[in-house]
Amino acid sequence: MPSSGTYHGSSRAQGGRRRLQAAVTGAVLIATALAAPRPAVAAADTPWLNLSQDGYASFSLPAAAVEAGVGQVSQVVIEGNFGPSATWAEYGLTRRGDVWSGVLGPLKPGLYSYQVTGDDTKGLKDPTNGTGVASKPLWSTFFVPGESARLLADVPQGQGGKVETLTYRAQQQERSALVWTPPGYAPRGPKAYPVLYLQPGDGGSASDWLDLGRAKQILDNLAAQKAIEPMVVAISDAGGTDDDLRAAVAGRYRVLRDPAHQAIAGIGAGGAQAVRAALARPERFAYAGSFSGLAADDPGRALNRHPKLLRLYTGNVTDPAYNATYKLTKALDRARVGYEFDGVNPDAGGNWNAWQENLIDFLPRLFRKVRDHGPSDGHGPLKGEFTPPAPGTTPTPFVTKDGFVTFETTTAFKDAQQVKVWANWAPNGSWLRVPATRAGDRWRVTVGPLDPWFYYYRFIVDRTSVKDASNPTKVTSEPTWSTFMVDGERSRLLSDVPAGQGGKVESMTYRSTVANADRTALVWTPPGYDPNRAEPYPVFYLQHGGGQSYTDWVEMGRAKQILDHLSLDGKLEPMVVVMGNGNVPDFNKELLENIVPAARSHYHVSSDPARQALAGLSMGGGQTFGVLKAYPGRFAYVAAFSAGFGSATGVDAQAINNGTKLLRLYVGDQTDFVYPSFMTSLTTLNTLGIRYEFDGVTPGPHGWDVWQKNLIDLAPRLFKR
C-alpha cells in the first residue's frame, strides 16, 4: 500500500489521530532589479503578488485597477515563464467579487518574469512591483530563493563587482554597452584583466543579461567563491561585439588585448557570432561559448581548428536551437574542429533559465586550465534531430518516451489568430495555457518533459474552448477535454492493466425518486467477482464533485485503473465500488433510498455498516459529511477529498465516533481554493472531539491530480479487519 508520504505534504499529527497543518505564513520576496533604477512602490500600495517562503505565488489583482489600466476585460491571466522547461505560459486568474486571484506553485528556485494580460491582447505591468525588464516594459520579475538558485541571489552589499555603462561610437552612431568589473578592480595599477564579450539573443538588449540573466549576481557569486579568474565582462546589444566596442573597452579599462585573454559568448544569433569569431578570427578570441546558438551547419573554411575553448550549449527539444546544435556538431566533426558540448539540458528549453546555467558553467572555464571538459551533471547526449511526425499524419498528441508531447490542430483553425493548449502541467497539476505557433494550415506546439502521469487538455482558439478532434478520448462532463498518458513508474497505478486481468465496470440503471427519472451509476467489480459466494462483498460508494457526473471517476479519476492495480498488487480488499450520480437536491435520500437499494439488488454486497464505505470529492465530499452528520454509523468508513465539514450545529460527535471505524480527510495545498475552509473544519472537528485522520496536504490544486492520489491512498485502508 502506498504510504501517505508518497503523495502528501509534511504536515503531521498534533496528537492522536488528529492531524492539523499550520497555515503557511507568506513573505513577500520580490527581487530587486539591478540594471537601472525602477520607480518606487508607494507604501500604501497592496502588492498584487505575494510569495510564500515555500514558493507559492499568490496573485490578487483589484478588478478596478486592472480596468483602469486596460479597460473592462472578461478574463485576466498572468503570463510568465511558469511552464514545463520554463516555457512562457499563461496562468488564468479567477474573479471573486472585486478581485482577480489565484495561487500557483510551488515554484522551483529561480528568477521569474511575468506580466498581466486581459482578453489576450491587453497587457499591463504590475504597478506594485518595482522591478522591471528594460527591453520588456510590461514585465516584472520576482526571485524564488533556494539552494539550486544560490548563484542567482544577491551577494552582501558592497561585496560584489560594479556595473556601469560604456558609451562609444560605432559606424558613426553612438552606442552603449554594460560593463562589469570584478571586486577590487581599480582604474590604475599594474594588473590588467582578461575580457569576456557577452551578447544577448537576436533583437535583445544588453540589459537583458542583467534583468533576466542575473549576470551580475552570477559573476559576483562566482568571484566571491574564487571560482573564476578576475575578468572584465562587456555586455553589448545584439550584434554589438565589433572592433569599435573592443577598442572602447581597451581605451577605458585595464584589459589584456592578446587573443589568449579574449572570450566571446552569446545567445541564439549571438551564439552563432561567437562560433564564427572563434573559428574565423583566432587573432581575436581564444574562447567562445554558444548558448542555444543558431549557427549555420557548415563552419566553412575554419582557420582555427583548435581554439582553446569552443563550448556548445543547448536546451531540450523545446529549444529552437536543438536541431541546429546537432547539425553544427556534425559539421564541426567533419571539419575536425575541436569543441566541447555541455550536453542536452533536460529541464529547460531556449530561455533564460537555460542561459543562466550556461553562463554559470562557462565562466569558470575561461582564462585558466580546467580538468573537466565533459557535460554538466544530468545533461544527456545529443543523439539526433527532433522530428515529430509530419503534419496531419498521426493523431495528436504525439508523446515521446521521455515525456515530450506535440499537439497539433486540424486545418479547421487555419484562419485563427491565436491557439493555446490548456492542460494540468503546472506544478503539482495546476493548469497553464501554452501558446501554439502556426505551421502551415495547422497550429503546433511541443511541451515537456512531462512527468509520467495522466493529463487532460483542450485547445483554446481565439478565446473559445475546442476539443482536439484528432484525439478519440472523451470526458462526458467536459466535452472540450481530451486526455493522454505519459507512461512511467510514477503513473503505473493510472495505466491500464493487461487485458483480462482487471475488474469490470458496468452501468447500473436505477429509478430515482428524487429526480423522478431513471438514472445511471457505474459499478466496478473486482477481478474474480463471484455473485454466488457465501459472504457478501463490502461496498464502497464513491461520489463526484460539482459540475461532474457519475462518469467522471472513470473517465478522469482513473478509478478502474487504480482499483485494478491495487487489486492485482494484493493491496485491496475485494470490494464493489459504486459511482453514482450526485446531482440531486437531496443527496441523503438519493443515496439511501435509491442508489444503495439498487446496488444491493444488482450486486452481492453487504448491508452491514461495518462493510460499507462512503467518500466523495469537493461537492461529493460535502455530501459525504452531510450523510455522516445525519446518519452517523450508517457507513463505518468515511472520507472526504477537498471538502469542508461545515456547521457543527446538531452534530452528535459521540455517535460519529462510535459508529465510524475510519474518518479520513484529504485536501490539496495552497492552490486548492477550499484549503482555508478545510483547515477551519479541522478546528471544528477538534472542538467537537470527533476522531479523524489527516496526514497533511496532498500537493496540488482542486483537481484530479489530487483526487487520484487520494483514492490511491484511501482504497487500501478500507474494510481491513
Cα–chain center distance at 377: 22
Residue 642 pLDDT: 98
Q: Which fold has domain 49-145?
A: Immunoglobulin-like (2.60.40)
Q: Which fold has domain 497-717?
A: Rossmann fold (3.40.50)
Q: Which fold has domain 157-365?
A: Rossmann fold (3.40.50)
Residue 260 pLDDT: 94
Mean pLDDT value across residues 607-622: 98
CA distances from 391 to 317, 440, 467, 469, 484 (A): 17, 9, 18, 14, 19
Q: What is the mean pLDDT of the chain?
A: 91
Cell numbers at 164, concatenated: 556601469
User: How many whole angstroms separate alpha carbon 495 and alpha carbon 558?
Assistant: 8
- Structure confidence at residue 35 as a pLDDT band (50, 70, 90): very low
User: How many whole angstroms separate alpha carbon 344 and alpha carbon 216?
Assistant: 25
* Second-level CATH architecture of 398-492: Sandwich (2.60)
Instruction: Calculate ∠ Cα 562-563-568, nearest 5°.
Output: 100
On the question of pLDDT at 475 being above 70, the answer is yes
User: How many whole angstroms separate alpha carbon 416 and alpha carbon 360?
Assistant: 41
Partners of residue 465 on adjacent β-strands: 460
| Domain 398-492 matches domain 497-717 at the CATH topology level | no
Residue 707 pLDDT: 98
Q: Is residue 315 helix, strand or coil?
A: coil
- For 699, which DSSP code? S
- Structure confidence at residue 461 as a pLDDT band (50, 70, 90): very high
Single out the residue of 20, 31, 91 nearest to residue 59, CA to CA: 91
Instruction: Choose the weakest-confidence range: 226-235, 282-291, 310-319, 499-508.
Output: 282-291
- Structure confidence at residue 303 as a pLDDT band (50, 70, 90): low
Residue 172 pLDDT: 80
User: How many whole angstroms separate alpha carbon 662 and alpha carbon 621?
Assistant: 15
Asked if residues 425 and 407 have their Cβ atoms less than 8 Å apart, the reply is no
Cell numbers at 721, concatenated: 479487519
Residues 347, 351, 353, 357: is their CA dihedral positive or negative? positive
Instruction: Choose the weakest-confidence range: 218-227, 380-389, 630-639.
Output: 380-389
Cell numbers at 191, concatenated: 594588473
What are the residue boundaries of the structural domains of the chain, listed by start?
49-145, 157-365, 398-492, 497-717
Residue 197 pLDDT: 96
On the question of pLDDT at 304 being above 80, the answer is no
Residue 301 pLDDT: 62
Residue 573's CB is within 10 A of a number of other CB atoms, namely: 18
Express as a percent the part of the chain with pLDDT over 70: 92
Asked if residues 314 and 385 have their Cβ atoms less than 8 Å apart, the reply is no
Q: Is residue 494 helix, strand or coil?
A: helix
Residue 239 pLDDT: 66
- Structure confidence at residue 11 as a pLDDT band (50, 70, 90): very low
User: How many whole angstroms separate alpha carbon 546 and alpha carbon 552?
Assistant: 11
